[in-house]
Structure 1
Amino acid sequence: MKKITKLGILMMAVAMIFSLAACSSGKTTTSTAKKYVIATDTTFKPFEYENDKGERVGIDIDLLAAIAKDQGFDYELKAVGFDAALGEVTSGQSDGMIAGMSITDARKATFDFSDPYFDSGVVMAVSASNTTVKTYADLSGQKVAVKNGTEGATFAESIKAQYGFETVSFPDSANMYEDVKAGNSAALFEDYPVIGDAIASGVPLKMMGNMEAGNSYGFAVKKGQNADLLKMFNAGLADVKANGEYQKILDTYIKK
């Protein structure tokens, strides 16, 4: 057995003192903070999309980053598509989702929502070359494209019997736009800021008629779960609205 020298004993004593001091102060050398998994859509510009550099950007993406920074929590973003994001949260694979998700009574049965962070609306759009569809009545006997889970889809379903059209559902906005451009569907219903951004970006569509009132968007967690995350989101949202960061984000993506 090796002998323990006086110097060795002294060094051990010093190490014990520092260890006790760290414990008494409540500080540790490793972080135990939870890293939240947040699901989002893939293409719902200007709320979430990939830019020319392959970076995921948009109102939802920047807002989440600003709130996380304000509240001091870490997160991993999972861009899986709207329908998949719903499943991720309900199954517990993701802690929350931010994906231009309208706050509705039906969804409140499954999700707990944050305070509203954006007020939207719904509008009809047709191909830029279309000269026959000007009102809802012109949709009689035709197909109308909608995106799964959107306010536009909900609105279209609510009036299709009245105006006699059939809805065709798509998992993302890009394929929905292509269907209308190709003439397979006579029109589409989409959230106003989303279709407005698409048209401004060069998609050959045009809006027809007036905007219909829509629900507000909210951050969502599984009902009864992740209350702390929801509380931090609300607190951070209030802070970034108060300090002007929220408006800067909107101005970046919604051109007036």
Structure 2
Amino acid sequence: MKKLFLLFTLLVSVNILFADDINVWKKSTLNQILERGELRVGLEPGYMPFEMKDKKGRVIGYDVDLAKEMAKAMGVQLKIIPTAFDGIIAGLLTNKFDVIIAGMTITQQRNLKINFSEPYLVVGQTVLLNKNYKDEIKEAKDLDNAKYTITAKLGQTGEIVARKFFKNAQINTFDTEAEAVAEVLNKKAVAFINDQPYNAMFMDAKGKDKLIHMDKPLTYEPLAFAIKKGDPDFLNWLNNFLRQVKEDKVQDTYQRLYDKWFIDTSWLEKVQ
């Protein structure tokens, strides 16, 4: 009788655990995506080469192509939802989209609110300097002076880095990268702080003969997909997707997309 009771107790425990797993899956964003037949991705167009609008108004970029690969692997349609970066976490938490794929850097502060996948790319913040200051500013630390004005995009890592590294300088923030870097082009500011890929692309486009790219990264910044907390199934799928994309040398998806957006700059003709 005692053995039968123990067996019954074990079976009940197993059934409870199984039911809990099923409930977790039913609530998972991944399950909802599959039932809906649509992956909703939040991003802010305007961050070259990750996401931007071409001349026809279409959203293109590295993150967009990565999202297309993700939707294809899920067997669902992709829906891009343009969202201002300073409100993008709130958009995720209020279920306006399923995942953020927007060149978002993993930070401890953000991680308190949302969960991150493994990094899909690692970048760092660099400086675009007005060439008129090349003789007095030899390295980034020289910018930490009250007589200098530095610009960055509001709410992005560039602003955080600028305020951390250049406490004595005047820091001005703008809603877009284009507005912030234009201040440097127009000699209203000395330098612009942003991600290395963006700065490198800008130099190829509009920065030639006007700016100097101080390309030694000030920071180590892993970029990752962001999702709501409490969703182990979705996080597991995203991490496995990344491993497959990175390691599959037959399809070579990861390298192909990297070369397309970070090595070959022919796409610039589509946005200028």
CA RMSD of aligned residues (A): 2.1
Distance 2:229 2:184 in 1: 37
* In structure 2, distance between residues paired with 1:223 and 1:180: 39
- Following superposition, the deviation at residue 231 of structure 1 comes to 3.0
The verdict on how the C-alpha distance between 1:209 and 1:229 changes in structure 2, with shifts beyond 3 A counting, is: closer
CA contact (8 A) 1:38 1:94 kept: yes
Deviation string 1:227-256 (CA, Å, 9 cap, x unpaired) is 443333222222221221011000001127
Q: Distance in 2 between matches of 1:174 and 1:210?
A: 21
- Structure 1 counterpart SS, 2:219: strand
TM superposition shift of 1:121: 1.0
Which of 220, 224, 241 matches 2:226? 220
Deviations 1:182-214 (CA, angstroms, capped at 9, x unpaired): 222211111111100111122342212622232
C-alpha offsets along residues 103-139 of structure 1, whole Å, 9 cap, x if unaligned?
A: 1111110011111000001111112444343333244
* Amino acid aligned to 2:52: Y
User: What is the letter of the counterpart of residue 208 of structure 1?
Assistant: M
Q: Match of 1:68, SS?
A: helix
Aligned pairs for 1:1-256 (under 5 A) are 32-131=35-134, 132-135=136-139, 136-141=141-146, 142-161=148-167, 164-203=168-207, 204-208=210-214, 210-225=216-231, 227-243=232-248, 244-255=252-263
Normalised by the length of structure 2, the TM-score is 0.75
Residue type of the alignment partner of 2:182:
E
Q: Which consecutive segments of 4 or more residues in structure 1 shift more than 6 A? A: none
Is the Cα–Cα contact under 8 Å of residues 71 and 232 in structure 1 kept in the other structure?
no
CA drift at 1:38? 1.4
8 A contact 1:49–1:57 mirrored in 2? yes
CA contact (8 A) 1:126 1:186 kept: yes
Task: Kindly state the Cα deviation for residue 144 of structure 1 after the two structures are TM-superposed.
Answer: 0.8
Structure 1 CA distance, aligned partners of 2:156 and 2:68? 23
Distance 1:94 1:193, change over 3 A: same
The code of the aligned residue for 1:211 comes to P
Code of the residue aligned with 1:230 in structure 2: it is: L
Q: Which amino acid aligns with 1:246?
A: Y
Distance 1:112 1:34, change over 3 A: farther
Bigger radius of gyration = 1
Percent of residue pairs identical: 24
Q: C-alpha separation between the residues in 2 aligned to 1:154 and 1:214? A: 13
